[in-house]
């Protein structure tokens, strides 16, 4: 039987891919997004489906979110502001914390389950690799605004568990690692691979922050969406935290070289950008998930390797840029 799933941040990269997968699986989808960091282009192909309903609303609007949640059995809360490398830490803190509490209140009123999208950034500067869900969370100084994102998500995780304990809202927390793929935001908001692909296709320099030896685990969007859907469907996932990500790390410098090999011509054009360009900024040296818990409980297994995922993403990004007339 078809159930109704409410997805926040639905017009964003991850949200639109999730909505498509849910519709393909026979679910009805209510999609919410204020379009501040996303575009209707991501969901326009879904609007013709009678099971898909889109509303341009802000997750912080508690009255609107209660209305949207009526009749939904599951809420997948993806809407968030990200690391304020270029942006405003206050927006990140307020949008993320107020938005999550608003959705928890909506879930309580609708007697719905809430799946919350957290982030690998909560592990911060913990030197222990790979990260397990029970590892301690190490953040930097509060005067360094890049930690605002991780701080907001840690607070949100506490809020989820508090609402589960005190308001009876079933929650599942997913710490997502480096999702990328077709539909991704093509600025730094979408991750380094987004801007590397854009630069390579234009024949421009790729900006690598710091020394480029920091490592990350990038997860193709289909794998990330699969993890989210598996968590939604699993009764054993209630009250649990799961790492959802690819376990094979790559340095940012190697990522830039790979993107250039797949999308550029000639020798790679790589420019180092000091972290001083962002004021007081700290980066993490390594970010790799341990996914044994997700494997055992959810049956989750990432399938798409980085090079294949980048090929698919480059093909999509090239087609978008060609339509825009922005290719060199």
pLDDT tens for each residue of 133-166: 999 999 999 998 989 999 999 999 999 999 999 9
* Mean pLDDT on 210-228: 96
Q: Which residue has the tokens 């790729």?
A: 206
pLDDT of residue 95: 96
Residue 85: which pLDDT band, with cuts at 50, 70 and 90? low
Nearest C-alpha neighbor of 152 from the set 99, 84, 86, 93: 93
pLDDT tens for each residue of 239-285: 999 999 999 999 999 999 999 999 999 999 999 988 777 667 788 89
Give the three-class secondary structure for 230. Answer: helix
The active-site residue, picked from 123, 138, 149, 220, is 149
**What does the alpha-carbon distance between residue 235 and residue 25 come to, in Å, rounded to a whole number?**
18
Q: Which residue has the tokens 């909505």?
A: 19
DSSP, residue by residue, 249-287: -EEHHHHHHHHHHHH--SS--EEEE-GGGGSS----S--
Two structure tokens written together for 136: 């301690």
* Mean pLDDT on 213-240: 97
Q: Which residue has the tokens 């907001």?
A: 152
Residue 1: which pLDDT band, with cuts at 50, 70 and 90? very low
pLDDT of residue 243: 98
Architecture of domain 4-181+218-244 in this structure: 3-Layer(aba) Sandwich (3.40)
**What does the alpha-carbon distance between residue 75 and residue 115 come to, in Å, rounded to a whole number?**
6
Q: Among this protein's residues, is 149 annotated catalytic?
A: yes
DSSP E strand stretches across the chain: 4-8, 28-32, 52-55, 74-77, 113-119, 171-176, 179-180, 206-209, 215-216, 219-220, 241-244, 250-251, 270-273
* Mean pLDDT on 67-90: 90
Among 74-78, 238-242, 284-288, 314-318, the range scoring the smallest mean pLDDT is 284-288
**pLDDT score of 37 more than 80:** yes
3.90.79.10, 3.90.25.10, 3.40.50.11740, 1.20.1070.10: which CATH number matches 188-214+248-287+294-324?
A: 3.90.25.10
Give the three-class secondary structure for 244. Answer: strand
* Mean pLDDT on 62-88: 91
* Contact criterion met (CB below 8 Å) for 47 and 79: no
Residues of the chain with CATH 3.90.25.10: 188-214+248-287+294-324
pLDDT of residue 312: 98
Residue 87: which pLDDT band, with cuts at 50, 70 and 90? low
More confident residue, 186 or 104: 104
């Amino acid at each position: 039987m078809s159930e109704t799933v409410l997805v926040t941040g639905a017009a964003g990269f991850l949200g639109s891919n999730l909505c498509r997968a849910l519709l393909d699986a026979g679910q009805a989808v209510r999609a919410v997004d204020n379009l501040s960091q996303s575009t209707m282009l991501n969901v326009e192909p879904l609007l013709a489906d009678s099971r898909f309903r889109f509303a341009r609303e802000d997750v912080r609007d508690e009255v609107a979110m209660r209305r949207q949640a009526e009749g939904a059995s599951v809420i997948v809360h993806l809407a968030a502001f990200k690391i304020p490398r270029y942006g405003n830490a206050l927006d990140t803190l307020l949008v993320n914390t107020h938005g999550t509490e608003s959705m928890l209140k909506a879930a309580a009123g609708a007697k719905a389950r809430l799946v919350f999208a957290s982030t690998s950034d909560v592990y911060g500067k913990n030197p222990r690799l790979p990260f397990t869900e029970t590892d301690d969370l190490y953040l930097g100084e509060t005067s360094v605004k890049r930690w605002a994102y991780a701080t907001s998500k840690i607070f949100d995780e506490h809020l989820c568990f508090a609402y589960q304990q005190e308001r009876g809202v079933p929650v599942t927390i997913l710490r997502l690692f480096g999702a990328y793929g077709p539909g991704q935001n093509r600025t730094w908001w979408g991750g380094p691979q987004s801007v590397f692909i854009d630069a390579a296709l234009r024949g421009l320099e790729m900006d690598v922050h710091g020394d480029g030896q920091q490592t990350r685990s990038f997860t193709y969007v289909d794998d990330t969406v699969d993890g989210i859907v598996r968590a939604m469907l699993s009764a054993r996932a209630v009250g649990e935290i799961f790492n959802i990500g690819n376990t094979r790390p790559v340095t940012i410098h190697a990522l830039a070289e790979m993107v250039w090999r797949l999308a550029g011509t000639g020798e790679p054009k790589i420019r180092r950008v000091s972290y001083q360009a962002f004021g007081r900024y700290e980066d993490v040296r390594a970010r790799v998930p341990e996914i044994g818990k997700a494997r055992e409980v959810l049956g989750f297994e990432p399938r798409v390797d980085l090079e294949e995922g980048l090929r698919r993403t480059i093909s999509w990004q090239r087609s978008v840029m060609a339509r825009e007339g922005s290719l060199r």
